[in-house]
Amino acid sequence: MLIRYGKDEKGRLIRQAKVYTLKEHGISRDKLDPDALKVTERLRNAGYQAYVVGGAVRDLLINKEPKDYDIATDAYPSRVRKIFRNSRIIGKRFRLVHVYFPDNKILEVATFRSLDGKDGQNIYGSIDEDARRRDFTLNALYYSPKEEQIIDYHDGVKDIRKNRLKSVIPLNTTFVEDPVRMLRAVKYSVTTSSKIPFKLKKSIKKHSSLLKDVSVSRMTEEIFKILQSSYAAPIFHRCREMQLFEYLLPQIHEEMNRSGSGKDFTKKFFSDMDKLDKYTRREGKMKARSRMLQYLTQSWLDQSGALSAGEDCVFMDVVGELKNSLKPMIAPNREVMDAVKHIFKKNKWKMPRRRPSYRGSTKKSFHKGSQKALAKASNPVQS
């Protein structure tokens, strides 16, 4: 094992990170996504640092195929944008660069964050500062494809190998800074088979109500990430144990705790989540959110009686009931309607006719009405 050294405020050498070689970690560059390799190589050739970071390194260490690749660099977003013509800068406070590839593939490139940056401010720093801004040790790993080395500032490799989930940021501040980290803790514990230590578990339960302050759009995105993970059933189970589920899907949570019918409803809900997980593992990364919504709300629609009329169900009534089950989560109307269409098709019920667009129907009706009026005026009825 190698050691990376830095300097303290007085200029003295200090140990900053452990550096694992290919022989020690076993991740050769040919295991990486080819496009991620191209991005890091081009940044390096332009004179910048470039590392594959976070979840991709974590997944490769536990022999899982990464679903996404993120890149960290010391190049500023404006510079990254000039290097990659197939990219654009996103974000208002902390700016990132999305590099686009065929088949709707996106690689995210982020500039190292500074310790001085708070609330997502656009302040950049060094790699060691960036490592201290990461949420958990298993995500604070930096893989250099050129040297085939992993730079580890917080013993993340050791924690992964021991199935241990540890926070980089102190527990009294990390969830206050970003409540969504509680959901990530649960997700990582399930997907990496890591135990949540007592103090971390206690802190999550203590701060769980902070999820109420998370924006609806961000919470919606986190729910879809869970549904897409292939581990939705165990993640939602763990969220219930950690008192987080009620802030994700409060309507469904309330139904689960209803006296009498709650137990059967809960069983049906998790049965549907198991089916979703099997479907996702079989088909690969699911992109159709409407399909996820179908699995997520099927048990609710059955329980509420929205589907009890069978093929006589009113399509838009089912749409309204599905949207109600998701509150305060918001899904686009098109995705909700497509989810209901999946349910109708599955049951072989007659689909409603597609309504014409407002603009189109207005023009058409006006045109026909005008023609009839003109015809009537030019050919008056004989008395």
Return the domain boundaries, the chain: 1-163, 169-356
Sign of the torsion formed by the C-alpha atoms of 342, 348, 352 and 357: positive
Active site residue 68: yes
Q: In terms of Cα–Cα distance, which of 67, 106, 27 is closest to 281? A: 67
List the strands of the sheet with 2-7, edge to edge.
Answer: 2-7, 13-20, 149-152, 141-144, 50-53, 70-73, 105-111, 96-101, 87-90
Strands 70-73 and 105-111 come out as: parallel
Let me know if the fold of 1-163 is the same as that of 169-356: no
**What are 364's two structure tokens?**
């058409």
Q: In terms of Cα–Cα distance, which of 68, 64, 57 is closest to 98? A: 68
Report the predicted TM-score, pTM, of the whole model to 2 decimal places.
0.84
User: What is d(CA 361, CA 366) in angstroms, rounded to the nearest whole number?
Assistant: 8
Q: Are 52 and 145 in contact (CB under 8 A)?
A: yes
Q: What angle do CA 11, 12, 16 make, to 5 degrees?
A: 105
In angstroms, the Cα distances linking 142 to 51, 156, 227, 245, 300 are 6, 10, 27, 32, 43
Placement of tokens 């990659």 in the chain: 84
pLDDT of residue 325: 92
Catalytic residue among 33, 35, 68, 338: 68
Q: How far is CA 193 from the centre of its chain?
A: 19
In angstroms, the Cα distances linking 156 to 161, 163, 175, 323 are 9, 10, 20, 41
Q: How far is CA 244 from the centre of its chain?
A: 17
User: What is d(CA 336, CA 267) in angstroms, rounded to the nearest whole number?
Assistant: 24
Active site residue 277: no
Q: Are 53 and 143 in contact (CB under 8 A)?
A: yes
DSSP assigned state of 195: B
User: What is d(CA 131, CA 53) in angstroms, rounded to the nearest whole number?
Assistant: 10
Catalytic residue among 59, 70, 74, 272: 70
Catalytic residue among 59, 130, 135, 152: 135
pLDDT of residue 371: 40
Active site residue 70: yes
| Domain 169-356 fold | cca-adding enzyme, domain 2 (1.10.3090)
Q: Are 6 and 13 in contact (CB under 8 A)?
A: yes
pLDDT of residue 5: 82
Q: Are 175 and 42 in contact (CB under 8 A)?
A: no
The dotted CATH code for 1-163 is 3.30.460.10
Residue 148, Ramachandran bin (φ over 0: left; ψ between -120 and 50: alpha; else beta): left
pLDDT per residue, tens digit, the chain (383 aa), is 898 887 777 788 888 899 999 999 999 999 999 999 999 999 999 999 999 998 999 999 999 999 889 999 999 999 999 999 999 999 877 899 999 999 889 999 999 999 886 555 668 999 999 999 999 999 999 999 999 999 999 999 999 999 999 999 999 999 999 999 999 999 999 999 999 999 999 999 999 999 999 999 999 999 999 999 999 999 999 999 999 999 999 999 999 999 889 999 999 999 999 999 999 988 766 668 999 999 999 999 999 999 998 888 889 999 999 999 999 988 899 999 999 999 999 988 988 765 434 343 333 333 334 344 334 333 443 33
**What are 58's two structure tokens?**
């974590």
